[in-house]
Amino acid sequence: MSFDYHSVAGDYQYRALNSGHPMQRFWHGGKLTMIDKLVRPHLSDGSRLLEIGCGAGNLLLQASVSGSYPVALDLSMQSLNFVRLRLQEAVAKAETPAGFACIQAMGELLPLADESFDYVLLSEVIEHLENPQITIQESARMLHPGGRLLVTTPNYRSFWPLMERAVDLMNIAPKMAGEQHISRFQPASFRRLLTDSGFDIEYFGTIYNLSPFLSLVFPKWAKRQLARELNSRSTLGMILVAMAVRH
């Protein structure tokens, strides 16, 4: 692993969402919209939810519903310490989780029992891995039959390579091209990764086609465009999104 993930601040995604560059705020906020549409409707009291590569916990906190049990997993202890504080605050306020756990581990070596979760989140993780299929298969192992996996990853058959280069040149995020992102996916290879690992595809599409650019000048239009992107299931957007169901 060439990139030092421990060098990234534990609250990085939280700060990007709340006080980053306008496009960063839209980018991270749009993922919460994605969670509201695709994940929360499937969760209920007693649901066990795991996020692999949780970062600052934005998606895990957004996905948690009343009585659910979220589990945060990350390689970075800085991230886990930050997520733990957020989850403790949520429990203290009786907002959503019935309890929670934080686990330091790598996506390829998960110290969790078979069929122990109803939902797994894997957002912008597999592009960081030399063998993403191991983590997808581990996700399948930990899900109940009928359990769901939400996976997102950059779409290299889109404007993403240009966006990746621009972000690296502007230095507004930890360097991605050639350092963090070592596995690259297009729609066909992404779908094949999931089906070869024992999943049925329930939802397949992309987000962030025009919406991030609109966010710089017309924020309200950008939100409407994002909703259209989620509904259209187009493969033109910069982030591939799949909802996969375990056999």
Domains of the chain, residue spans: 5-246
pTM of the model: 0.93
Q: Name every residue whose Cβ is closer than 8 Å to that of residue 170 and which is 6 or more positions away in sequence.
A: none
Contact by Cβ (8 Å): 19, 8: no
Q: Does domain 5-246 have CATH number 3.40.50.150?
A: yes
One digit per residue, the tens of pLDDT, for the chain of length 247 reads 556 667 789 999 999 999 998 999 999 999 999 999 999 999 999 999 999 999 999 999 999 998 999 999 999 999 999 999 999 998 888 767 778 999 999 877 788 999 999 999 999 999 999 999 999 999 999 999 999 999 999 999 999 998 888 777 766 566 555 557 899 999 999 999 999 999 999 999 999 999 999 999 999 999 999 999 999 999 999 999 999 999 9
